[in-house]
Amino acid sequence: MKHVIIGAGAAGIQAAKTIRSLEPDSSIVMLSTDRQVHSRCMLHRYLSHEREEEELSFIPEHFFEDLNIYWAGGSTVSAIGTDEYTVTLEDGTCFLYDRLMIATGADSLIPPVGQLRNASNVFGLRHLSDAQAIRRQADQAENILVIGSGLVGMDAAYAFLRQRKNVTVVEMADRILPLQLDKTAGNAYRRLFEAAGCRFLLGRKAVDTISNGSGGISAVLLDDGTLIECGLAVVAAGVRPSLSCIKGSKIKADRFIETDPFLQTSCPGVYAAGDVTGLSGIWPNAMKQGETAAYNMCGIPVQYIDRYAMKNTINFYGLTTLSLGRGTASEGDTVTLRQDSSGYKKAILRNGRLDSLLLQGSIDYSGVYQYLIKNEIDLSSLKTDIFDISFADFYGTDSSGQYQYS
């Protein structure tokens, strides 16, 4: 059996490991535009000079050799022939496959504002190549602008502050980390970042840029007329799935590649996993999708059923926060708050079930809350305070003394 995997992130690497464990003698080819395997969760550590390139990998040093995998890093796929079962690279190299998996992830989305999309000193932060280009210029820049205050934007701001740069963060929402945190939790981080020298402009958006006359920009104009001078800008305003490799093929995609419960695409023998499917944006789920796709590629039917993906863990300046669920209350929901010496807590119950939870400070015993949300456990009859519960509230013991759900 010939397996080809496009993409070397969490989903692709997990798929390769799984295939090799199931089929010791099959051929595995891994293709990626990235020249080396890396964790994008660690890119900000590279920007801050806390780690070097070789320290960003999440696989053993001899991973490909030990698993007998053909690795073609720095390769760009130009065509996928689903009738011919071929994958062709830009340099004309062609690979035959029996099973193909697409795990190309997502790319930064840079809005068409002024010269943001083509300026030589404006970057997204999604790949190691992005981080390498940013670091080269950031070392020479004093004033750095970050557009967007989500996780990627705040990671970048944190890295630049560690390098003692003058950092300004522009955010359209009225708070930072708006998709992950409420205003109370977000403001706790805002105070820490401001104490480190960060400047925030909230409720504002970029509307134009000023050229520096050398292919880059020297400033960004905001909608209130504020002009922000910058030698470098990082745009962290969202991502879009990387679909360029399926252009011209018969693989169906709208915003994302369409898959069935077995993660097979519209074309037989072609599977997809990770960000490119729109199923999940978190690392553990991408790994699970890669594993599931691999089983199906090897002829072992397995459905992907774990679609719970609403989890973020944040840690800046020693303050840890865990957010679970959708995070936004609707009419009729019950919202419970607690703020004490251990930190800030917020729970949202919907129709008697825990819909969202936010823990800032101490995140001990968070496993029980993940269990409740993921499994939609009915809490209508619960008499214990939501912040004082444990697994013991939901389990009894059978006649043999083993735990069972009660």
CA 56/CA 311 separation, integer angstroms: 23
Pick the range with the lowest mean pLDDT from 4-18, 297-311, 342-356. 297-311
Pick the range with the lowest mean pLDDT from 86-100, 162-176, 233-247, 272-286. 272-286
Greater confidence (214 vs 327) lies with 214
Q: What is the mean pLDDT of residues 60-77?
A: 97
Mean residue pLDDT across the chain: 93
105 near 242, Cβ under 8 Å?
yes
Integer angstrom CA distances of residue 385 from 342, 378, 389, 401: 16, 14, 7, 27
pLDDT tens per residue, range 366-399? 888 988 988 888 998 888 889 988 766 665 545 5
Which H or E run includes 11?
helix 10-22
Q: What is the mean pLDDT of residues 240-264?
A: 96
DSSP class of residue 126 equals S
What is the pLDDT, as a whole number, of residue 406? Answer: 47
58 near 39, Cβ under 8 Å?
yes
369 near 379, Cβ under 8 Å?
no
Q: Which domains does the chain have, with CATH numbers?
A: 2-107+240-297 (3.50.50.60), 122-237 (3.50.50.60), 311-405 (3.30.390.30)
Burial 142-164 (b: 16+ CB within 10 A, else e): ebbbbbbbbbbbbbbbbbbbeee
Amino acid 338 reads: R
146 near 122, Cβ under 8 Å?
no
* Locus of tokens 């929402």: 173
For 244: left if phi > 0, alpha if psi spans -120 to 50, otherwise beta; the answer is alpha
What is the pLDDT, as a whole number, of residue 405? Answer: 47
Q: At CB < 8 A and 24+ separation, what contacts does 131-137 make?
A: 131/43, 131/46, 131/47, 132/46, 132/53, 134/47, 134/232, 134/234, 135/46, 135/47, 135/49, 137/231, 137/232
Percent of all residues in the chain with a pLDDT value above 90, rounded to a whole number? 83
Quote the tokens at residue 236. 């962290």
Quote the tokens at residue 264. 């097979």
Quote the tokens at residue 75. 């390769």
Q: What is the mean pLDDT of residues 101-110?
A: 96
Amino acid 73 reads: G
176 near 189, Cβ under 8 Å?
yes
Greater confidence (325 vs 114) lies with 114
CA 316/CA 154 separation, integer angstroms: 9
What is the pLDDT, as a whole number, of residue 380? Answer: 87
For 205: left if phi > 0, alpha if psi spans -120 to 50, otherwise beta; the answer is beta
| Surface-to-core class of residue 301, CB atoms within 10 Å of its CB (0-12 exposed, 13-18 middle, 19+ buried) | exposed
Q: Is the pLDDT of residue 156 over 50?
A: yes
Return the bridge partners of 200, or none.
Answer: 169
CA 346/CA 188 separation, integer angstroms: 14
CA 290/CA 72 separation, integer angstroms: 19
